[in-house]
Amino acid sequence: MANKLDILRQIVSDLSSFFPDLTPQEQVYLVPKIMSISAMAPLEIQVCEGDSRYVDHDGSCRSEDFTILIGIFRKYRLDSGERHSKALADLNLSLYQLKEVAVRALDGKFLTGNLLTRPLIIRGESAVTDTGNGQLLKVLTFVGGLNVEVI
C-alpha cells in the first residue's frame, strides 16, 4: 500500500506534468506548510499535507481521509505609470488560469499508479492574499482517501 509521502511526491510529479515550464523540486515542491519566501521564482507551487481523519477501521485496515494543500504563488510588479489596471487584470487572469490547471490536474484523480483508494476532490480555495513580498497566493484544498494496514 502507498503511504502519504509517496502520494505527496506523486502530486508534485503530476502537477509538474501539467506545468511543463516549472521544474519539479525547484518550482513545484513539497513543504511542511504553505509559506512565502522572498527569493521565490515568478511562479511557484507548493504542496503540503493538511489534517487527517481516520474514519473507518475494518480488521487490519484503517481508512484515512486527508487534506492536501496546494499553494500557488505568483510574483507581481506594478509600475507607477497608468498601466497598473492592465497589470492587475492580467495577474487576475493568470491566477485564475493557474488555479484551473491545478484543479484539472488533480480533481477526481487517483494519481499516477492509482495510489489512492478514494480520489482527490477539490474542497475549497482561498481568496487571493498578498504575502507582502510582492507575491500573491492562492491556496487550493483537496481531500483524498487512503487505506492503511494496521500493524
All structural domains of the chain with their residue ranges: 4-149
C-alpha cell at 58: 475494518
Strand, helix or coil for residue 33: coil
Tell me the pLDDT tens digit for each residue of 39-67: 899 999 999 999 999 877 777 788 889 99
Residue 80 has a pLDDT of 63
Find out whether 95 and 76 touch, Cβ atoms under 8 Å. Answer: no
pTM of the model: 0.90
Residue 81 has a pLDDT of 66
Residue 2 has a pLDDT of 65
CA angle 9, 93, 110 (to 5 degrees): 25
The C-alpha atoms of residue 143 and residue 151 are separated, in whole angstroms, by 24
Tell me which residues of the chain have a pLDDT lower than 50.
none
Residue range 4-149 forms a domain whose CATH class is alpha beta
DSSP state of 81: S
Residue 82 has a pLDDT of 67
Residue 59 has a pLDDT of 73
